[in-house]
A and B are shown apart, each in its own frame.
Chain A
Amino acid sequence: MNLKPMVRMATLVRALSGAALVGAAAAAAAQSSVHEQLNAVIAKYAKVDEKSMTNPAVKAIFAKDGFAQELEAYPVGKLADGFVWKPGMGASFVGPFSKLPIKAPFTDYLPLPDGPVLDPKKTYRIGFVFHGFNHSWLVSLADTAAWEAARHPNVQIDVIDAQYDDNKMAQVIDTWVTKKYDGIVLWPMREAPMGPPVDRAIAAGIPVVSVDRRTSSDKVSSEVTGNFYANGVQQGLYLNQALKGQGSLVLTRKDLGSTADSIRAGGFLQVIGRSPGYKILGSYHVNSDRTLSFKTTADAMQAFKEVDAVYTAGGEEAMGALDAIREAKRLNSAPGGRKIVIVADDDSKEIMREIKAGTIDMVAPYTPLIGDLGVRAVIRHIGFKAGLVKEAPPKLILTPNLPMITKAKMTIEGVQTLTPDEWPYAFGPDKAAAAK
């Protein structure tokens, strides 16, 4: 009997099985994806502390603004229910408030099917309170929350703008407690003031979920948190790639003490902190104010004749800085006639245009399209409380880390960037369409 074909067949089967296993592992690795890749990068740079920073200017800012403690406390970890997010996922719809086309990335995260939820005979009243019907990021947040509620005919949602008034937000929550709403979702501007009203709602048996920013309440049912750490780290990674550890930087930051500032700027400084070749020319707080960012950057352009890069902590900061640099005709004034590198956060359509035009070099997305996740989480909490759902959502619901967007595709420390055309989740009005 000729065993060679059988051996060959067995070898082939083994090889194929091996290949299948490798393929599966690769697929699993690819599926463990951007979130896990960025978690690994974050873990690497999270070890950088003041002592290990060799750049004295970076070290000084890091120490003075107390970033270490904030970074340590910021949640980083796995996604709930083993969710794996891939670019392209999510539902498309028209925002009920903005009337703009939206593709929300996480509509498959903690999913709920269309139709009635929990007890179909009952109408569930959910309150969604936030600030800022005058800011596209915040309107988009409200859009996704309202969209999710509209998918379920027995869910009634009240969307209230507390107009940047913490007292008003507290009053709204207390009113809903009095009216015995079934669930509450909030976007708190500041942590501390929202602790007590959230505690009161929880004490009244009403589940409460916070989205994006956190409250000081440790009784809150769930917190849907963003990816500030991945934002800042990626800004640092891009800068290292672009400038190879050498250059003069201007920083335009958010409000001192805000989570966005601490984590983004902190993560950014951790990545560049071991490159002694960077010089920090100025560190300015422009507090999400486009005009202030404009004026401050205009003054910085007068102060510093050689600027290699500008770090901006958000969309408004970035656009203000870019416009000031353009007005001063300094876009290509970095040493050697190079372009000033501008790194940004917040994936508005306006910023995407500038990425395509090559004026802003990279943006780390921080999507507002997470209101739906908050509403689904609170519905699940309501169901769990009523014994209709087996398991409550976790206390901490991390949103997936998102890869940075660059004009040309590149891979930095194993993380592949996306181009603007590969990013359908940008929020806000489209500048080109608006100009028509």
Chain B
Amino acid sequence: METTLPTDRRVAGSAAAPGAPRQQRLSLDAVMGRVALLVLLVAAASALQPAFATAENARTVLLAVATVGVMALGMTLVLLAGELDLSIGGVAVISGVVGGMLLRSGSVALVVAGVLATGVVCGLVNGLLVTRLRVPSLIVTLGMLGVLRALANILSGGQAIYPEGIAGYLWFGRGAVLGVPVPVWVFSIAAAAAVVLTRHARFGRALYAVGGNATAAGLSGIRVDRVRLLVFAASGLAAALAGLLETARLAYIGPAGFTGIELSVIAVATLGGVSLAGGRGTIEGTLLAALIIGVVNNALNIAGVSSYVQQIVTAAVILVVVLPDSLQRREREA
């Protein structure tokens, strides 16, 4: 059962930092609930659609969730810090376009470095605007979304770029290591890194503290603005990485891509139990949520269900999962 830090513990200068991660994690019940839902969905889909329960389809599902999953990891860090990043679609697009412009160099390393560096820089810009100018992240990142998309159009002339000429680039989307597609490896490694960061590193404790109570966190010695800056940089990096995976898989860098992706990513994080208010949630929850949505979409596509109905079903799944958590939290707070 989830417990919250008693208010008398939230004392300025207290050695026990408020919002300590152990108390703010998704409860074991909530995680097991999501695992159970995933198992149930897989079982139901397998029973209803024989085509679902194959190794190849599992590979298809994992490939499909990799891009949104990577972005959701970055978004989770931002949400845990009590912030929001709506610019991820724009970051993914501009990073891809910058990579596309570097294709002429013929160097995979340079292209990939350019893509990822662009993402980090965009994230840092977001972070600096939030921390230095004190503009709410909703406003900053919404503005950045528009700016980055416009910039992508200007730099690309509104035209698609095809990275076919560099096989190394396409490997990120189409390659495999030990039979496992590269995007799945990237998602797995990114998730593992994010789990270590949030659970076992000092940064993770600081992150939850900032998200739980930024004032108290600051008073207890945590460098709040630094934490915020770093999570935005991480989110930018994740968006750029996701952009790399998807453009490599499609062999297509288009300035119109990733439209509306921010809402899908926030939905994944929310389904995973991350609180929009900050300080609550886990990477593990986000991971499970990405898989749940991936399984639902895949199963519905296999069943021939319209994409419009899929949107309703996905929203219903989110409500069904998130509602009990919210009600429980309300009861405890009352």
Contacts and interface: CB of A to CB of B under 8 A. Distances in A.
A and B co-occur in one complex: yes
Interface of A: 97-100, 132-136, 138-139, 256, 281-287, 289-292, 294-296, 298-305, 319-320, 323, 327-328, 350, 428-429, 431, 434-436
A256 to B, nearest CB: 7
A283 B304 contact: yes
A436 B54 contact: no
Contact of A291 (B51, B57, B103, B246): B246
B160 A291 contact: no
Given A285-B308, A319-B252, A295 B158 contact: no
B252 A298 contact: no
A98 B307 contact: no
A299 B63 CA distance: 11
B291 to A, nearest CB: 15
A284 B159 contact: no
Output the residue of A138, A287, A294 with the most chain B CB within 10 A.
A294
A71 to B, nearest CB: 21
A294 B160 contact: no
Contacts of B257: 290-291
B69 interface: no
Interface string B39-62: 000000000010110101100100
Nearest to A281: B304
B31 interface: no
Interface stretch (B74-82, B113-121, B271-279, B294-302): B294-302
16 contacts: A133-B158, A134-B153, A138-B158, A256-B308, A281-B304, A284-B301, A284-B306, A299-B64, A299-B298, A299-B301, A299-B302, A300-B301, A302-B56, A323-B250, A429-B159, A434-B161
Contacts of B256: 132, 134-135
Contact of B60 (A98, A292, A302, A319): A302
Contacts, number: 117
Contacts of B152: 134
Interface string B123-162: 0000000000000000000000000010011001111111
A300 B300 CA distance: 10
Output the residue of A302, A305, A429 with the most chain B CB within 10 A.
A302
A81 B159 CA distance: 35
B29 interface: no
Nearest to B104: A436
A294 B250 contact: yes
B158 A135 contact: yes
A226 to B, nearest CB: 20
A369 to B, nearest CB: 15
A216 B60 CA distance: 43
Interface in B14-55: 49, 51-52, 54
A292 B306 CA distance: 12
Q: Please classify how large the interface on chain B is, using the bins under 10, 10 to 19, 20 to 34, 35 or more.
A: 35 or more
Contact of A98 (B54, B158, B254): B158
B199 interface: no
A45 B308 CA distance: 30
B64 A298 contact: yes
A139 B306 contact: no
B165 interface: yes
The 4 closest A-B pairs by CB, nearest first: A435-B165, A299-B301, A303-B302, A134-B255
A98 B301 contact: no
A75 B187 CA distance: 50
B157 A97 contact: yes
Given A284-B307, A285-B308, A303-B302, 7 more contacts: A134-B149, A139-B159, A291-B250, A299-B60, A323-B251, A327-B174, A431-B162
Contacts of A436: 165
Given A284-B306, A435-B165, A303 B157 contact: no
Contacts of A434: 161-162, 165
Nearest to B298: A299
A301 B304 CA distance: 12
Contacts of A320: 250
B307 A292 contact: yes
Contacts of A323: 249-251
Contacts of B304: 281-284, 303
Contact of B63 (A98, A138, A298): A298
A271 to B, nearest CB: 22
Nearest to A296: B301
